[in-house]
Amino acid sequence: GKSPTIISDDYPLDVAAGRIAQGKLLNGGQACIAPDYVFVPTGRR
C-alpha cells in the first residue's frame, strides 16, 4: 500500500528523518508498512 508518514509540529525533524529512514530500509523497503511519503507541517524545514 501507500503508507504516509505524518510529522507533528513539535517533533524534532532530525529524529523523524532517522526513524523514517529506518522504517523505509527495513526489509529493503518491501514491508507493507514502509513509509512512501512524508507530510511535514507548513513552514518547517
pTM of the model as a whole? 0.77
Would you say 5 and 38 are in contact if contact means Cβ atoms under 8 Å apart? yes
For residue range 14-43, list pLDDT tens digits in order.
999 999 999 888 888 788 888 899 999 998
pLDDT for 40 equals 94
pLDDT for 42 equals 92
Which three-class secondary structure string do you get for 1-45?
CCEEEECCCCCCHHHHHHHHHHHHHHHHHCCCCCEEEEECCCCCC
Q: Which three cell numbers stand for residue 11?
A: 517533533
